[in-house]
A = this chain, B = another copy of it.
């Protein structure tokens, strides 16, 4: 059964935009893309799997950092071309900069101002022995 995959209006590149929102706080954590395989894997494993457009491959979020996203709900919008996933963010860090979420720049007086702290240094997150 993968009819739900056919219901999605994929872009011409076979992708769908995805918004990840934190279950406990309601904060929007990040924005990414999925292809069919990524959505299928997300459903089957219960963890967010995206399609990395820069690396051109499947991206199991947190595979390196351990900051995986456990999926509570998967939602589709009215036009069936945008997905919203409600997740538990393991480690409390969704952003590759070491911040809680990716939307840490706020427009103030016509300037983008960082207003969220780095929780963990990126060298510590991505360092491998």
Chain A residues with a Cβ under 8 A of chain B: 1-4, 7, 17, 19, 21, 25-28, 30-31, 43, 73-80, 82, 84, 95-97, 99, 102-107, 110-112
Contact = CB atoms under 8 A, between A and B. Distances in A.
Contacts of A76: 103, 105, 107, 112
B111 A4 contact: yes
A19 B77 CA distance: 12
B107 A74 contact: yes
Identical chains in the assembly: 2
A111 B80 CA distance: 13
A31 B3 CA distance: 24
A21 B31 CA distance: 13
Given A78-B97, A97-B78, A106 B19 contact: no
A45 to B, nearest CB: 14
Contacts of A17: 17, 31
Contact of A107 (B4, B28, B82, B110): B4
